[in-house]
Amino acid sequence: MLTRHTAQGRDLRWSVLSWFRGAAMEHATDGEPAPQPPMEAVKEALAWALPQLAAVRFLSMAAQAHTEEQADDFYVYAENQRHQWGRPHLLDPEGLRGHILAGEDAPSDAANRGTGTALIHLSAAAGLGGQGIGADLLAEALAGSGLLPQVSREMWEEVLTQAELEGRPLVPENLIVDPLERALLASGEDLLKARDTAVQLSGYGSLLVMHGLLLPRTPGLGLLFRLINDLGVGQALIGMAAGCWKPQSFTQTLVVCLDPYYAWLCDQLAAQVAAGPPLFRRAGEDTAEAFMQDWLASIKNLSSRDASDCH
């Protein structure tokens, strides 16, 4: 199985992690679970891979910054390393859908250029604690991150300022963690659960992206997207979907999903799907195949329209 996940020039430890991810995505054969890599090999690969990931080093450094000098060093490091992270995966599926239907170019991400700075401050809060950056800056970072678009800066500032006045922590202590330490202490069972959670959540993120690409609307998808919007996790899910196919990005997502919150989130979304109505059936349609045919037809019609516009 390992040879299926190897690539020229890739370290075998990345291949082990790719196999670990792929085992959760493959269908069982003859009723048997997909072959899994040895857990000891997975742990060894994680111990080697995680310190190489800029995002993990970044968060780990924030968690270890206990003095003002260390905090200053963290911000210098963050600014120097920002170019390695790439742009955050921010996408407005509904907006993208509207632009496509109107025959317009997809919007530029120029409006999201401040997102990198916002995420630096959020990571600092996760490592240093909210008091380390203050209520005003934390409110600005939360509003600018794009992660909870329904909550304004003023709303964040009101809640955080009140917490600061009352002497309550701006960031719960259980959220101030060193991701590298958490991953290295995780059990095999913890890693399996986080892996399965990451794969499932990336699937929900893919549905959001496909909605932007004209996936037909259905009552089931509408209810699911409404829950995702109410929970404010759409951008996080899209980010997971964007990095799911690369072992480096998936490894980062795996570490994130060790937090029990994400297992809870996965359960909430799965419960909505189970409650119905079916995701891929519209009123009057008997099969998911009819749904897919409608989607393909809408894309074909769009392609034909674009081709005619070129003449």
Structure tokens belonging to residue 74: 């963290």
Nearest to 143 by CA among 161, 127, 157, 159: 157
| pLDDT average, residue stretch 156-172 | 75
The structure's pTM equals 0.75
pLDDT at position 147, please? 58
pLDDT at position 43, please? 94
**Would the pLDDT of 164 be above 60?**
yes
58-105 confidence digits (pLDDT tens):
777 777 777 778 777 777 777 676 655 545 556 788 888 888 888 777
Q: Helix or strand or coil: residue 32? A: strand
Crossing angle for the helix pair 68-85 and 115-128, to the nearest 10 degrees: 140
More confident residue, 16 or 110: 16
| pLDDT average, residue stretch 140-164 | 72
Cross-strand bridge partners of residue 32? 29
**Would the pLDDT of 47 be above 70?**
yes
Confidence bin at 114 (pLDDT 50/70/90): very low
pLDDT at position 272, please? 96
Structure tokens belonging to residue 58: 């970044």
**Contact of 176 with 127, CB cutoff 8 Å:** yes
248-283 confidence digits (pLDDT tens):
888 988 988 998 889 999 999 999 999 988 888 877
Give dist(CA 243, CA 251) in Å, integer. 9
The number of angstroms, rounded, from the C-alpha of 86 to the middle of its chain's C-alpha atoms is: 14
**Would the pLDDT of 219 be above 50?**
yes
Give dist(CA 217, CA 214) in Å, integer. 8
More confident residue, 138 or 109: 138
- 94's CB contacts (< 8 A; 6+ apart) are 211, 212
Give dist(CA 176, CA 255) in Å, integer. 14
Q: Is 80 exposed, middle or buried (0-12, 13-18, 19+ CB in 10 A)?
A: exposed
DSSP label at residue 147: S
pLDDT at position 25, please? 80
Task: Return the percentage of the chain with pLDDT > 90, whole number.
Answer: 21
| pLDDT average, residue stretch 219-224 | 93
Give dist(CA 279, CA 268) in Å, integer. 15
- Region of poorest pLDDT, from 95-99, 232-236, 283-287: 283-287
Give dist(CA 282, CA 217) in Å, integer. 8
Positive/negative CA dihedral, 116, 118, 120, 122? negative
Confidence bin at 110 (pLDDT 50/70/90): very low
